[in-house]
Structures are given as C-alpha cells and as structure tokens.
Chains A and B, each alone.
Chain A
Amino acid sequence: MLQVTGAGAAALLALSACSSSGSDSQSGASSSGGGSGGLSGTVNVFAAASLTESFTELGEEFEKQHPGTEVVFNFGGSDSLAAGITSGAPADVFASASPGTMKVVTDADAAAGTPVTFVRNRLEIATLPGNPDRVASLKDLTGDGLKVVLCDKAVPCGAAAHKALTAAGLELTPVSYEEDVKSALNKVVLKEADAAVVYRTDVEAAGDKVAGVEFPESAKAVNDYPITLLKDAPNADVGEAFIELVRSAEGRKVLTGAGFTAP
C-alpha cells in the first residue's frame, strides 16, 4: 500500500509545478503506516537545484539509517518549487536557496514552524579549465572580449551576482542572463562562455571542467539557505527526521564538503 502511495506521490512530484490543491486528501495515508516508533514511508523533499549533489548523498545516508523509508527529491529553481508548494504539491520538506523564496511559502502559511538557515553559499567565478584568460577578480570580467554569463536577476544566483557587482561598483554586460545557476555554469563547461558567476558549490561540483576564482565582493552577497517542514506534509515524522540529519554534524560535514559554509 505504501508503495502505491509512493509511486503516486512520485508521479505527482513530476507534475508539482502545475498541480492544484487537490492532493490534500492524501495526507495521513503514509504517516499512519508505521505503528511502532520506527519511521517508514516516503518523504518528499523539495530542494534548490544547488543542493542536488549534497542532498542526494544525505538522502542515501538517511535511507540507510532508517530502513523502510524512501527519500524522493524534487530539485529545481527555488522559485518554481515554492510556487509548486503553494499550489498544493505534496511536499514534506522545503529547502530553498534564498530567504526570499522561503518567504513565499511562509507568507502562504504553508510552513510548519519557523524556517531555519542551515547553510550559506557564496559566489565564485567559474572560468575555463586552467583559467586561460587569467581572470583574477570580478573587475576582470568587465573587460571587452570576454564572454561572461550571469544568472537572470529573477533567480537567486542572479540577484546575488547583481548585489556583488553593485557592492564593487562595477558594470558588467554579460552575453546572456541564464535561467538558473546550472545552465550558467554549463555554458562555461561547454566552453561557449569564458566565465560565469555561479555558486562556489557549483564550481566544486563541476570538478576539473571549470576553474574557480574567488573574489572578495562575494562576501557582500552571501545566500542563506533556509529549510522547513511543511504544514500539509503527508509524512511529517520522516520529514522532521530528515531535517535533523541535514542539521546534524554529519549533515554539516557533507554540506561543507560540497563547498557550503556553516551559518
């Protein structure tokens, strides 16, 4: 029975961005499953795209610690995830890349309790491997002849880049405003652009496909990542336990390993 619920939830996840508020009837179906103190059932975690690598690792760890549970992730742009949640997507946990997108969820009264910041992320310049253009600072990106991509201001990484540039008093005309941080990074990975301003974690995740250049102005545009249990969580107990793991010393280790900093 749980399996069926899980499959249904997974199918709904795929539709999360456009699903309507008809799924509330599902709640309770899986949380009533366990009986004893042990946790079981599927937990749906909506998380910012930049958390993909670290949360996937934590999810596997969680399933190992709690046999009988399954962590299903829906990674995406924080904004579209928030929109999905406020439209009734069946999520238990929401981890966002910015307090602004989290506020969309709390304003809609969809969060259970107050969200907590669990990690911070800062920006870094991603350049071609070996840094052939010798980019050393944010200012170097403003020169002519260098193809730079930024995230669009509508998404958190773009807002942060804008903030850093403003703090540095720099004007930068990119060749493109990308729709999310991964596509900005991939333009450099594919060597179509010479540099991109992305999160440090994305540079880390890309390995040797890009070279990272830190810049001091990134301190002016640090993104807080809040996490919260959701009010209509179909499987609140397991969701709570997953948040505990994320915030534990063990979780912290995985996250800082991916390039995040502790709050």
Chain B
Amino acid sequence: MTATDPNRALPLDPSLAPPGTRNFRDAGGIPADRWHADQNGETLVPTHCCFCGVQCGMYLRVDRGGKVFGVEPRNHDINRMRLCPKGINAYQQVNHPDRLTAPLMRRNRDEEFREVSWDEALDHTVAEIRRIQGEYGNDAFGLLGGASLYSEKTYLVGKFARVALKSRHVDYNGRLCMVSAAGANKLAFGIDRAGNPFSDILLTDCLLIAGSNVGECFPVMTQYLWGARDRGATLIVVDPRETAIARTADIHVALKPGTDSAFFNAVLHVVVAEGLTDEAYLAAHAAGWEEVKATVAAYPPARSAEICGVPAEQIVQVARMFAGADRAMAWHARGVEHHSQGVENCLSIINLCVAAGHIGRPGAGYGTITGQGNGQGGREHGQKSDLLPGGRSITNPEHRRQICEIWGIDEAELPPAGTSMMEMVWQMQRKEIRGLVGICNNPFVSLPNYATVKDGYDTLEFHAQFDFFLSETAANAHVVFPVTVWAEDEGVMANAEARVVKHNKAQEPPAGVRTDTWVICELARRLGAGDKFAFPDSRSVFEELRIASAGTVNDYYGITYERLEETGGIAWPCPSTEHPGTPRLFENGRTYHPDGKIHMQVVEWHPPMDPYSEEFPLSLTTGRTVAHFLSGNQTRRLGALVEQTPRPWVEVHPSHGFRNGDPVRVVTRRGSEVFPALVTEAIRPDTVFVPYHWPVPTAANALTIDALDPRSKIPEYKVCAARIEAAERIDEVPAPPTAPGHQAYPETQVSRTDPLPPTSPQGRGTAERS
C-alpha cells in the first residue's frame, strides 16, 4: 500500500476520534460527559497552550474557587489530545508564587525596586515619555512587543506606538523567530504564511525537514510526521545534529552550519540535471525560473559537498527522493532562518519545491514551523516596524491612507517605518533611542551578543517592562507593570499553519494585576489619545482588528470569536463570515502577487558573517531543549521542567577528547563561557552546540554574533566561529530574578546547581559520565 492509496482512510483524520478519546467532544466546549466536572465540582475551560506555534488545544482545570489548578488533554484537531512537557506544566505558572502582583518602580538602576500604586507607575512612565519626547523628539522613545501576546494586543502595540506615542520605533521579538521565512514567502508568493496545514503532512510521499529539531521544539507535530511514515512517506532531515527525528530519517544530511543555500542549490542542480523539474507547472505559474536555473548550474554536487561537508551522493539522493516523489513537502524552521542569509536559505527551499511542482496540492507544499505561539499572528497586524494592520506596508501610500482612515488620524501623523529589534539596541547605544517600553519580551536572554544588549539597555534613560514574572530584562528596568498570564484573558493567536485559534479566560487575575490591554489603553489615555483607545476588553479590540484587516491579504474579517469557538480555528484569509477560511494556499495555481505568479528568486550562497580562523576553527550553533521555551522566563520557574533540564551544556564530538561533564570553555569573538561537556556522536566534529534558554553567565547569546540578514534583519544565531578549551570550573546557572521580598522558588532550585550536564537530555545520547 502506498502513501497515495486513495482507499485508505487517514490514520489521523481529525474527524475520527482516536482510541480512548471518544468521550470527549471535538474542538470547542467541555467534555461531552463532563467527567471531571461531575466528579470533583471542577470546571474545564477549553483553551490552547501558551507556548509554541503548534497551539495545542487543552483544557485548564478550574476549582470551585475559580483557580486554575491543572490541565486535561483536549481532542482539538491540531493535537488530538497530545501535549508536550511544556504544555502539561504550563498551567503551573498561572498561580505561581513568583507572579508579580504590584507595579515595581525605582528612579535609577542603583536603587532597589519598591512596590508602588498603578497611578504612580503610570504617571511616572507618562512623565518620562513626555520628557524624552519633548527633549529629543518622538522617535527617541521606542516600543518592543512580543509574539506571545494575543493578536489583539499586538494590534494595540502597533497602534499605540504610531497613534499615542507617535514614534516610528516599534518592533517585536518575532523578529528573532521566523521573519526570514516570512520575507521569503512574501517575495515568492506575495503572502506571508505556510502554504499548507499540518494535516497535509499525512498525505505526502516525501517530507523534507530542514533546520528543525521537531522532536524537541514542536513535539506534537511529530504525530503528523509519524502518520506520514505509517503511510509510506520517506523522510529527509537536514540538520548539523542527529536529532531524535534525524535518527529515523531515510536520509540525514548533517551539513555544516551556515551552508544551507549551497546545499539546496546543489539539490536543485541535480533536479535539473536529471530532468525531474515540472516544466509544465513552471511555465504556467512561475516567473524567474530561467535565472534560477542558470544560477544553480554553478552548484554541482561536488562543489556544494565540499562547502557543506556532506557526501555528494547525499545531494543526489535527496534530489531524487524529493523531486521524484509524487507529492512532497518541505518544512523548515530556525535552523535555516537564523542566518545572515536566512531569507535566501528559505528561498532556495521554495525554488526546489516550485521547480519540482510541489506546491498548492494536498500533501505538496511548504511550511515554516513557528517557534513562538503567536510568531505568525504577532506581525500580521502592525507590531512589526514596517507593517500596518492586515499586513499592509507602512511605506505604501495607499495602505497608509486606508489605516489612517480606520484609526481616524491625519496621514501626516503616521510615522514612517522604524528599525528592527537588534538595530534598536544599537540605536540605544548611540542614544538615538533614550526611552523604551518592552512588553512581554526578554532580550537580555533572547538577543545575540549580550554585552551589546546590556550596554544598549543600560544607556536608556527610562525603561519600562510589562511581564508577569520578573524577567532578566525587567529586573534591569525602571518600571515593571504586572500583567496577566494567558489564562487570565481571552484572545486569538495564529499558529504555524496560519490557523487562528481562540484562547479563553480560565480565572480572574490576582489582585493588583491588569491585562496588557488595560495598561496600553491607560497609558494612551494619559498621553491624550484616550479616544482612540476606548477598548474595554479583547473582544472590542478584535472587532476593530477585523475591520482593519478587511480586504487585505491577511484578511480576518470573516473570523469572529463565535466562529472560532464553533470550529476550533479558521485559517486566514477569511474575507466573510460565510467563508470557511483558507487552510491550503494556491490550489487554483494563483499566488498573491498581482500577476498571480510565483516569483522565483536567484540565491547565491555566501559564507557566514563570522569568519573561521586558526583561532576560531569551529562552528557554534544554538537551539532549544524540549523542556524550555525561548528565554526561559516562564519555564525556568516550573519545577518539573527545571528538573528535566536544569542547565545548559555544550555538545561536543568525542574526537575533541573531553569526557562527559568536563568543564569546557566555549570562546567566540564576543566572549567566553564555561559549560559541562556532553560528549556525543550526534554532532559534527567541527561543530559545537549550546542551548540558549539561560541568562549570563550561562547564556549562549553571550557568544552569538549580532550580524543580521539584510532583508529580514533576523540575527545569525545559528552559526558563529568558536573554539573550545578545557576549563577549571563550570559556570553556575543563576536563579531567576524575583520581586523584592520574594525568595527564589525552592522547587526550581533543587537541580539548578548540578554541575553535570543532564544525563541524555531528551534522548540525545551521551557518552559515559566521568
């Protein structure tokens, strides 16, 4: 039986309840049998996980007193009950003892924080905004949002910056996530999202996963991957490390970090040479194919094999397997996107898909695996420096006019495009930006080149942060606003498939805590723009967002809260309330460019920005572990997750002569840090790996380079030149910062000081402990 056998039911067909789940109803509502509700007098609130871009459905268990106290799997068709360890433990942050419950303030960074009233914190912030903007101009005050915010809040962040703050400087931490893929998709297809839903993976014959440790970063997505394998699909994994899914792949291409586009150009070279291109599709739907074909002619397998450090035969095998399949899909993530040529890497994969005709069909297409929960939705409605709501361009006069009309402001008042998150830090260093509000982001851990980031933030005259835990960044601020966690408000997020899902409120926020919506609107009111920010709740913001996106490519107009609750999620574009949404793009062969064509782009490989030398001969690459999420501000406080992965380590190949647990100093041109060695054959001898969720002195991002992709402005996290040497002792992981009067939560301290690497973290495999 082949994967394409039409007589075989989909093993993971969402309409078929999986074994053991039939007592649960589908996407919305509560379990049909109210099993828990009857048993314990508790209620189950249907919602989604707050973490990654898969957006698994889950129920939060709420006790009689209205407090969240547990989690129950939910048969939502994204995840069909499955959850990863982060999802299972996520509820623990809702009533965590580290929660901030009062605004914190200090006049300068030498003072201790003191708890103040909301009025005092807001008044001080507004006074500082007025002072800085009065002295240095509106653009001297910036705003940095977050991709873990609901889309309503990201819409508010963009509107607040442009309408209340009147500053061009707004950006968000999704800039560190998938903007390379977004840029490439926009260039090629005129639309910024994945082309296919996850369920299409089940229909494919060949699955190419590039630069994505799916098993650890998006564990629940592996069910689709295995579903495809059950039906006979082949699997190609392109990754410098042998990850859990690479172990089982038909072909694992362990290329040298920073050589992705050289590899994919060579694959396309072979596809052309072997006549595996879909010329009819290219002639009908693609522009620029001849130029691309001419470029890849200069990438024979032998040349790319040398650049990438892989056997040339593998390139030929990948080409035959991918292009020779009836239906093939390519999914990629940060491993190809976090580069100074991140956009080009993505384009080289798109070129391959298009040339082989694998676009716009069930089981054939492309997708990007979004790291952050709302990495997709976070930029769609104006939080990114160059975008207005509905994905409109801030440089397009027609788009500017449309938005000014909706917002009721004069066109001349709308600021021009700003700069990216990392560029804003450089501007802080140069005192071009002197004040900043950060909303639910933690650049002290998440941005590259920590020394620069710290210097930039320390140079700020005023810095306020919104957060629910005192992040490393918030601990350096002047004012901290305690805001709600995801379970204390409702709102929507768009997952990696561009499926919009609704999160529901499960409990009231603790006394002293306000929603981000309330704080933004209150700041706007005090800045004199209250009439433009009269939003009592998320729903009212969403109604304006729907209208603001109507008629654009990112059309949300047909999506309502009620429809989301009924359907369990709708993929945009969805132009009317009768429209079913668009899970799969380009089925009619047309893209979102005015000419309807796919605009193929020429890609030339160039080496990473940090040059190798005798002093720095190795590649340092970074990534995640399954137990932690991004900067770890949330997960490094949850006991079970800390116990699972208490600290970072450095993965080194046995050929370097270290034994497991040895202190190893990793040195780059930015600095050096000491980690315990995790000796494994699962990594290239010329590459070392450090997971990035921890702050200094155990921060991978103290070592990474702040070189940016010129188009997407994503930092080159995934490769920099490094060397390793033996050290005396291992740097200890610091406890997460807490509000004054609070001790570090003891449960998370148990294993934090263990100097050894976790034994076989997440099944990666280690040599024996010394």
Do A and B assemble together? no
Residues of B within 8 A of A (CB): none
Residues of A within 8 A of B (CB): none
